[in-house]
Each structure stands twice: as structure tokens, then as C-alpha cells.
Structure 1
Amino acid sequence: MEQRPWYWIDDVARLDTPALVVYPNRVRENITRLVNTIGDVNRLRPHVKTNKAREASQLLLDAGIRKFKCATIAEAEMLAMIEAPDVLLAYQPNGTKIHRLLALMAKYPRTRFSCLVDNSITARELSQQAVSDNLVVPVYIDLNVGMNRTGIAPDTAVLTLYDELSQLAGVNPVGLHAYDGHLRNPDLAARTADCDAAFQPVYQLSEALLARGFAEPVLVMGGSPTFPIHAQRPGVECSPGTFIYWDRGYQDGLPEQPFRPAALVVARVISLPNSATLCIDVGHKSVAAEGVLSERITFLNAPELVAIGQSEEHLVVEAGVGHPYQIDDVLYGLPNHICPTVSLYERAYTIENKRIADEWLTIARDRKISV
């Protein structure tokens, strides 16, 4: 009997494509690999930006993980809905976001929420609103260690801001946050050297805060590329996110990491424009439309297909004259970047024993759930 590949779906005819599918057994395996890599679930603070679903996040809880990281108020609320104990909004709230964060704290008192700040103006506004709502918000100072988007340079200005935060009512400085997602050298030794250099001033700031009499600051560091490096640092919390589903980009770029793809985009051939090309129903609205066109999605059961054109609902690929493909052929696509791909779908279909088993709503892709 022919052995079907791991991604095969026996009842795929039930799927209207393009469709996002998730393989929960592989998700569980990836979570186990995550825990085994670090050896201590208390040092894990995974980012839920990739999955955006209660069910996937619940599997993290089931594995004993109690700390989480997110980027939006909706992601924070999704975690609170499953009673995640500790949620860091890894984003600096300004304006209305401050009110929404405080509303979350009031609505979900069983979850400990925290956030980032990188300046006095935001800190004072957060303080004022928190005092008005009779709340205290734990805050981390966001450090710029080379990503160059948010955060302040890891120098003495951090000590000044930390001291200011400690004197503001309604906020409580608890640590430092640094995302080094720009460090992606495929060579692990080179990536490690870069990561160590970026971490050194963070460590020095931690020591300086201790010397000034502050409690030992919590250090929340990194993402997927530097996870295996920060995992070796005692006391540092690590925040990978993509591990849960993995993708082609990290599979190729981070070969030392043990995670396996657990989410795919299922598509179909919908037209044969000429003797050498196919048109597939996976456009910009179905897979992350970033990077080089030819690398956005790889079809596991048709890896030779090369994308030559894409629009909102269509992908045209070169198949070669004499190709075997027919209208309605099913293709299993591995996205190059799974995180923004997931957010294009309102639900994922789970696959168990090669059959469609359930649906996971991508509830946190919305900007608002209830708060």
C-alpha cells in the first residue's frame, strides 16, 4: 500500500480552497521540542502572533507554559479568555490603547497584564490613567539592540527612565525587553556572536539596576532566530513564536532548530492558461505577499512549480510543457512566512488522522474582540 505523506488529507474534497490547515499532532511535537530545548517552562514566554487562536494557545497552556507575549490588544484578550496567567503586551500603548489595556485588566483580573514603554511621555500618561482606574501596570523598558523600530538605546538613559518609572504611581517597572529579530545569520556561530554582542549591554544594565537597589529585573529576550542562544542564558525569558507552526523561511534559514511545519495552505489548480503554465487559487489574499514572488509558497507535492505572477486571488506558475497537472488538482503549500499568512484566514481546519477534524477560529486576527 502506498504510504501517504504527512500532510495528506483523505477528505480534502470537503475543503473550499484556498484553506489554512493545521496539524495539531505536529503542533504538540513542536511545543515539546520548545520545552526540551530550554528545559524550564518558567523561562518561556512564547509569542502568540503566529497562531492567533485560543485552541493553539491552549496547547501551550497544557504543556505547562504560563507566560505569554503578544503584540495586540486582541491577542492579549484571546489569552485572557483562556485564563493565561501572565501576558506581556509587547507593544507600547499610546492613546486609546492605554484605555483598552486598562479595560482588559479590569475585565480579566485573573490574568496579570504588563506592557512596554520607551519614553517618559507614555509612562506619565499610562500612570495618570492607571491611577484614575485604581490599577497598577507592570512595565518593561523596551530596548533597541539593533532592530531600529521601537525602544531606546541600552545605555544610561535606561537607568534614568527606570528610576522615573519607579517613582510614578500606577506603574511598576519589572524588567527589560529586547527583540533582536534582525540577527538571522544562517551560520549559528556567527549568529551567536552577534547575539552575545547585542545582549552584553542589556546584561550590564541589569547589573546596574541591581547595584542601584532595584529588584532583579526580568529580561525578556529575542524571538525565533536567537531562541537557542538565549535559551542558554540562566534567568532570561525567551519569546519565540513561529516555532508552533514553523515555515519555509525559518526551515531554510535556521537549520539548527528542530521544529517542523505544522500549518499549510491547501490550494487547487483552477485554470490552464497555456501548455506550460497553471493558475492556482492562492493570491495575495491567501499567502503572505512579501519577499521574492518565487519564494512566497512552496508546494510540497509539486516543488518544481515556479511562480511567475500573482494577483489578489490568483497565482500563475510555470510547470513546463508536458506537465501532468489537471484542473482541480490539490496542492499543499508551505508558506515562506506563516505568521502573516495565518492572519489572512478567519479559521484554520485541523487535520487528524489525515481527515478534517475541527475548526480553529483565528479570533485574534481582528483588532478588537470585546475590549
Structure 2
Amino acid sequence: MLATDWYIIDNVDELDTPALVVYPDRVQYNINLLKTMIDDPSRLRPHVKTHKSIDAAGLMMQSGIKKFKCATIAEAEMLGMAGANDVLLAYQPTGPKLRRFVRLISAYPQTAYSCLVDNTATANAISKEAADTGINISVYIDLNVGMNRTGIIPGEEAIALYELCAALPGLVLKGLHAYDGHIHDADYSIRKKRSLESIKPVLKLVDDILAKGYPNPKVIAGGSPTFPILAKLKDIEVSPGTFAYWDRGYQQAFPEQAFQTAALMVARVVSLPDEGKICIDLGHKSVSAENELNKRVYFLNASELKFTGQSEEHLVADAGEGHHYKVGDILYGLPHHICPSVALYERAITIENKLVTGEWKTIARDRKITI
């Protein structure tokens, strides 16, 4: 069997489709590679949005990674259940979410939780909630470095917010957070230039904070596209996430990151509707559909297929006249965007030594686990 056939499942007849499958040995390879790309693994704070799994987080913890980042209360609780040491909820909790976050802190005391804040009203609300419940809540100032989604522009207003959070009762001010998700140029030199320009005002803000006599703030920055760049800077925690499973989109866009694709959607041909056409059981409820039709999935063993339509449970492809496909044929699909694709499945089937061996529950795809 060719090395390129790493994805083949020998007992695939036991697997109903569509199915999300994960290859733990390749996930471990990606974790090991990640650690070689930075001078100090303690600066790693991986985002768990891709895998949403206790098992994948467990592999990272067994490999010495102790700090994590997440976007939802469920992801934060999943990490508490896994026994993570340090978890940043990279979100500003408001209303019921703030009350859930407080319950989370109490429910998992072995995990040091923190969250984001980017305005005075929220800072005061978090302070009040902390005072009312008799706890301390750790916060990071969320900075807008060009994503234009959340955060405050680095500068005088950010310093004023920093000073307020440092003074408010119940708040423990940890540092600064800057996500540069708008930087994803395929050209590495352009991406590097933009990334370094993006982080410059954050580092200036650190200097301004130190000049006012505050302790050195922690800085958490970046995602997968800028990880190799920010990893070379000192004293910054970096937060790649997609590396755990990788995908077709990042594989093509960022070849300088040699992570292995570690999760696939296994599908079957279910119908031959007319000459040259095949229908596959991989609708847009089974693979992320936010991209155009030809950038949703890439079949490793059927790369010549041209997609002509997709609905909730079906994907129609042009296979050409005289094609060899039959009903029941297995197709191994590499998604272009793995993160939302994983969220469509309640479990990932583990494949080891080319055999179905078990499953990893995608437990944090739920909006609520217990809290």
C-alpha cells in the first residue's frame, strides 16, 4: 500500500456514513511538531475550538501543554473536566454568560479561568459579579489590532481601561489579548510583515503600562496563520488551534507549517442519478458549507470529482462518462475548513493501525454541558 494511502480504513464496512474520523497518531505528530516551533512550550496556549474534545486536549496535556484558550462556556467546561491548569475564555461574558462563567469558576477550582474585557461597563459588571459571589475573576484586556470584531484600540483608552480593571474589586488583571485573524495572506513574507506591524502597538502598550509602575502584563496573541511569526517573539503566549487536525484550506495556504491532516469525513456513494453523475451522502449538514461548492471537501481518493450541487444530506458530483464508481463506494473527504465541520458531529471515530478502534466525543460542540 502506498504511503499516500495513510487514510484507508481496513474495516470501513463497520462504519456508517457520513462519519468524522480522527487519526490519533497524526494528532500526536502535530502536537510534537508544534512544540518544536517555539523556544519554550510554556508559551503555548492552544485554542480548542477545532477539536472540542477531552481526548485531544488530554494528548496535549500529556505532552506538557498546560494552558489553553477557548471561545464558549462549553469549551471552557470541557477543559475543566479534562483537568487543564489554565484556561482563557477568549470572549467577553455578558448577562447570563457572565453568571455561567462564575458558576464555572466555582465548579472547577483546580482550573485557573480568565476572560476578556474591552469596555468599562463590562469591567464594572464583572467586578460586581465577583463581589456578589465572593470570588476573584481574572481578566485580560481585549485589544483590536485590525480584526475589527471585538477589543479596544491600543492607546490611551486602553490604558485607562487597564487602570480601571487594576483598581476594581474582585478583578485580577492578567494582561493583554490580541487576535489577528484578519491576517491570513498566503505569501509568508506579506503575512510576516502584517503580523509584526499588528503586534507593534501591543508591545508599545506593554511599555506604557510598565512605565506607569504596573507589573509586566502577559500578552496572548495570534492564531494559526501567524503562529510561526509570533512564536519567534519573546514573552508572548501564542494560540494556534487548527494544527490539531489541520485541513485542506490551511494545507494549501500555509505550506511552511508542516502539520499533518488528522481528521476526515468518510462518505459513501449512495446513488447514480444519471450518466456521469454520482450522489454522495455528504450534505451541508455533514461538512462545513460556508465556502463555495468546490471549496468544501476534497476527496483524497477521488480528486477528479467536480461538484455540481449540495443539499442537506446529499452531494452531487460529475464523475465523467464511463466512470468506475458504484453505489457503496467509500470516499475519504478532507474538509477545507475543519473547525465548523467537526462541530457537525457528536463524536469522532478513532482510526489506529487502519482500524476503527473507538471514539472521541466532540463534547464541547454543545452550547451547554452541565453549566
User: Above 0.5 in TM-score?
Assistant: yes
Q: Using the TM superposition, give the Cα deviation of residue 103 of structure 1 relative to its aligned residue in structure 2, in angstroms.
A: 0.4
Identity across aligned pairs (percent)? 57
How far did 1:39 drift? 3.0
Gaps of 5+ in 2: none
Partners of 2:273 and 2:179 lie apart in 1 by 45
Q: Distance in 1 between matches of 2:115 and 2:255?
A: 32
The equivalent of 1:265 in structure 2 is: 265
Cα 1:235–1:4 shift into 2, 3 Å: closer
Shift of residue 2 of structure 1? 6.7
Higher mean C-alpha deviation, range 180-189 or range 330-339 = 180-189
Secondary structure in structure 2 of the residue aligned to 1:287: coil
d(CA) in 2 for partners of 1:319, 1:130: 60
- 1:225 maps to which residue? 225
Question: 1:218-274: CA deviations, max 9, x gaps?
Answer: 110000000000000011000000000000000001111110100000000000111
Aligned residues: 371
Q: What is the CA-CA distance between 1:174 and the residue it aligns to? A: 1.0
Q: Distance in 1 between matches of 2:117 and 2:228?
A: 26
Paired residue for 2:113?
113
| Structure 2 partner of 1:36 | 36
The amino acid of 1:336's aligned partner reads: H
In the other structure, the counterpart of 2:234 is 234
> 2:180, 2:4 → 1: CA distance?
39
Letter in 2 for 1:331: L
Question: SS in structure 1 opposite 2:141?
Answer: strand
1:273 is paired with a residue of what secondary structure?
coil
Q: Residue 157 in 1 paired to residue 157 in 2? A: yes
Deviations 1:281-320 (A, max 9, x none): 0001000011111110000000011111000000001111
Cα distance between partner residues in 1 of 2:244 and 2:233: 22
Q: What does residue 93 of structure 1 align with?
A: 93
User: SS of the counterpart of 1:48?
Assistant: coil
What does the per-residue CA deviation read over 1:111-165, in whole Å, with 9 as the maximum and x for residues that have no partner?
0000000001111011001111111111011111111111111121100000000
User: Match for 1:7: what amino acid?
Assistant: Y
Give distance in 1, aligned partners of 2:356 and 2:39: 33
Q: Distance in 2 between matches of 1:233 and 1:8?
A: 40
- 1:1-371 alignment to 2 at 5 Å? 5-371=5-371
Work out the CA distance in 2 between the residues paired with 1:160 and 1:258.
42
For residues 2 and 130 of structure 1, the distance between their equivalents in structure 2, rounded to whole angstroms, comes to 58
Shift of residue 173, structure 1, vs aligned partner: 1.4
Could you tell me how far apart the structure 1 residues matched to 2:54 and 2:39 are? 25
Q: Over aligned residue pairs, what C-alpha RMSD do you find?
A: 0.9
Runs of at least 5 residues in structure 1 that lack an aligned partner in the other structure:
none
> Normalization by structure 2: what TM-score?
0.99
SS at match of 1:274: coil
State the Cα distance separating 1:210 from its structure 2 match. Answer: 0.6
CA distance in 2, matches of 1:33, 1:129: 41
The TM-score normalised by the length of structure 1 is: 0.99
Q: How far does residue 51 in structure 1 lie from its aligned partner after superposition?
A: 0.4
Tell me the distance in 1 between the aligned counterparts of 2:3 and 2:286.
29
Distance across 2 between alignment mates of 1:51 and 1:346: 11
Q: Deviations over 1:58-78 (max 9, x none)?
A: 001011001000000000000
What secondary structure is seen at the aligned counterpart in 2 of 1:106? helix
